[in-house]
Structure 1
């Protein structure tokens, strides 16, 4: 009888848990890139948050990290420089204008570099289609990283499979793609920092949701009025009117007159509230650590501002941006210069724009660069003027290194003329 019961149709459905779609995961349509990422990765984290590149940017700590790095890369000049003793800008080369001012028909150099760096930080890869005319690069067209798959063929040549909007796949050689990649475990595809840190980001997003729910549904009263006896209707009405009359910023700090034995009891922050704030601060540290940005630049530490701001800026350039400078410089030389041109030119960011310091610091540096105090000069007058965005001095010796100036008491002499 029990064996037959195994095959007998059940007339009443059992009450059992069934897998349900995650509540609150909305997509703009079938072409939403978040939908594709959700289908590929499952979308979830241990914290229950759904983390993709666009969702992650809703966290303020990550948004600050990404915008800080992307804007810094976008505003710094990326120069094409001729090799040799003079090392002057290659202004006559078509690539100089492309990197300096106009990479394509609708973007400025700042917008192009910021967008590429943003995608590089979020996806681990950034791509741009190289458009040539008569063997000269005339445009760099950004491509969505979700539509590009880099692969190595059997001859160890890099190929890029680009999926067009009509669904067609276009196979492009490495000579037609400008590829920026973050750290990689295979040398082909860069690792996405958002994916690697998605658990930390997920916890941060859930902590923000918890804080939002507290403001929406939690009791935000500052205290309570208690009475040993039940209040009469008249006393309750008077008390309610008195409380409402004392509300607002203009009445902050004023005392209330209590009647009928009422006692005021102020609510204090609980240990759970303090732990919630501590957890949120810890997640900010985790995100800052993943993106390589110092905590003070996320507006976390007031004590690091003031006299330490100069050292903080140097730290940010050396340990946060220098990695990205190298990625950009070597990728542009690999993809945008021919092997013959690599022997004549090199590409470099001008990071001095972030390290200028105060006017006093600049004045001290430039006087030493020109040979003040008996030091061997290493800059000409026109090189100093160029760094200050000033027009060139057309005098005879403005492009020549001077001789060390020795300061003797109140008289400055040039030993070469004595």
Structure 2
């Protein structure tokens, strides 16, 4: 005899619609076995990286500024079904993202966060379903909120003791764009070039601290004062020891006393006990560390003034390599992310490289090659150069 519970279950099953097949990533179940739901915290100290790298190290500071400023100087273009738009809502938004910043300032902040933290977050403010303003958020205050299947389900932003949660809206729009660099061991956060260059930054900072210590203790070589008094007085008295330390600090230490000869009396003998800077070769180690830092950021050492083969031709080639191998890929990554976040069907955001001075030589060479190609018609040449196939006449009445 069926029970009341079984009857209710049968009736409920009859009313439930058949499950709809949903397509999803084949790796979702695998990730779900590895990642628990809830906030995933940044696995490193962003403040320490920013303080010891960007704020204390001149090489890392200059590398981050060079990359961020160069990439932010590239304007964005909007295409709609293959046609470049002269005026578009996305163009106006990217040129003036909020009342306090220009588009260049916003993207410089985004690129700087990417180089420092490996992550950058952009918040979109919508009104009536349209994105009206964009803001860059500090990456150390943002935490990825993992959903039950292991993928990011939202973001939590904490500042001033207050938490703001960002979740996907009813129409499927995520109000936060997360840009991140590749990290081989983390599913949610990117790996910053500054972290990869951490050891080289420490070596360079230590070398600078060494130089500072030499300036502060210019005339005092590291060593020991050995007392060779009479046998009945083998050791200095407490008063003699304190007076000797005081005289050394007041008379022989500091920049004002650099080069002053040391006068020893009373059976005192000086015995050096440390290597000289030349023996330690710390200057070359400093330059080597600087080159390693520049390598992590993709900045040629010639652009930073690091001693080496800095001829004019090498500088020009280094500048071209910097734009081709570092700046353009970064700008293309940001444009692709913005395009997938803001654009609809048939629309795309791309970096406009036509005004980059460093690439003018390549553009001129390409123009010459196309114009000298006798096997191409004028229409084909115009298309190859990115122009419409037929010129548009300004006074065309038709």
After TM superposition, the score normalised by the length of structure 2 is 0.64
| Alpha carbons 1:178, 1:336 under 8 Å: kept | no
Are residues 76 and 120 of structure 1, via their aligned partners in 2, closer, same or farther at CA, if it must alter by over 3 Å? same
| Alpha carbons 1:181, 1:327 under 8 Å: kept | no
Are residues 219 and 177 of structure 1, via their aligned partners in 2, closer, same or farther at CA, if it must alter by over 3 Å? same
Paired residues, number: 289
1:67-106: CA deviation from partner (whole Å, max 9, x where unpaired): 110001111112221233xx312623x111112x201111
Q: What is the distance in 1 between the residues matched to 2:368 and 2:393?
A: 17
| Alpha carbons 1:65, 1:291 under 8 Å: kept | yes
1:289-308 alignment runs, 5 A limit = 289-300=295-306, 303-308=309-314
Are residues 357 and 95 of structure 1, via their aligned partners in 2, closer, same or farther at CA, if it must alter by over 3 Å? closer
Q: What is the distance in 1 between the residues matched to 2:375 and 2:44?
A: 61
Are residues 70 and 220 of structure 1, via their aligned partners in 2, closer, same or farther at CA, if it must alter by over 3 Å? farther
Partner residue of 1:234?
none
| Alpha carbons 1:162, 1:172 under 8 Å: kept | no
The Cα of 1:111 is off from its aligned counterpart by 0.6
RCO comparison, higher one (Cα < 8 Å, 6+): 2
After TM superposition, the score normalised by the length of structure 1 is 0.61
Moved over 6 A (4+): 383-386
| Alpha carbons 2:194, 2:297 under 8 Å: kept | no
Give the secondary structure class of the aligned counterpart of 2:162. coil
1:127-181: CA deviation from partner (whole Å, max 9, x where unpaired): 1211011111110111111111013201545310111423335243371002211
Q: Does 1:76 align with 2:74?
A: yes
Q: Does 1:145 align with 2:146?
A: no
Are residues 51 and 285 of structure 1, via their aligned partners in 2, closer, same or farther at CA, if it must alter by over 3 Å? farther
Unaligned runs of 5+ in 1: 1-38, 44-49, 222-268, 387-391, 397-418
1:12-411 alignment runs, 5 A limit = 51-57=48-54, 58-84=56-82, 87-89=83-85, 91-92=87-88, 94-99=89-94, 101-155=95-149, 156-173=151-168, 175-185=174-184, 186-219=186-219, 272=278, 275-300=281-306, 303-337=309-343, 341=344, 343-354=345-356, 365-369=366-370, 371-372=371-372, 374=374, 376=376, 377=378, 378=380, 380=382, 394=394
Q: What is the distance in 2 between the residues matched to 1:308 and 1:199?
A: 28
Partner residue of 2:39?
none
Q: What is the distance in 2 between the residues matched to 1:318 and 1:115?
A: 21
The Cα of 1:303 is off from its aligned counterpart by 3.1
Give the secondary structure class of the aligned counterpart of 1:300. coil
The Cα of 1:271 is off from its aligned counterpart by 6.2
Unaligned runs of 5+ in 2: 1-41, 222-274
| Alpha carbons 1:150, 1:188 under 8 Å: kept | yes
The Cα of 1:385 is off from its aligned counterpart by 10
Q: What is the distance in 2 between the residues matched to 1:152 and 1:207?
A: 42
Are residues 295 and 91 of structure 1, via their aligned partners in 2, closer, same or farther at CA, if it must alter by over 3 Å? same
Q: What is the distance in 1 between the residues matched to 2:374 and 2:163?
A: 68
| Alpha carbons 2:320, 2:358 under 8 Å: kept | no
Q: What is the distance in 2 between the residues matched to 1:271 and 1:165?
A: 47
Q: What is the distance in 2 between the residues matched to 1:301 and 1:352?
A: 33
Q: CA RMSD, aligned part only?
A: 3.4
Give the secondary structure class of the aligned counterpart of 1:307. helix
Give the secondary structure class of the aligned counterpart of 1:79. strand
Q: What is the distance in 1 between the residues matched to 2:61 and 2:50?
A: 11
Are residues 354 and 216 of structure 1, via their aligned partners in 2, closer, same or farther at CA, if it must alter by over 3 Å? farther
Q: What is the distance in 2 between the residues matched to 1:366 and 1:191?
A: 39
Partner residue of 1:225?
none
Q: What is the distance in 2 between the residues matched to 1:75 and 1:283?
A: 29
| Alpha carbons 2:60, 2:294 under 8 Å: kept | yes
The Cα of 1:320 is off from its aligned counterpart by 1.5
The Cα of 1:309 is off from its aligned counterpart by 3.8
Q: What is the distance in 1 between the residues matched to 2:189 and 2:100?
A: 28
Give the secondary structure class of the aligned counterpart of 2:165. strand
Q: What is the distance in 2 between the residues matched to 1:354 and 1:274?
A: 44
Q: What is the distance in 2 between the residues matched to 1:218 and 1:97?
A: 58
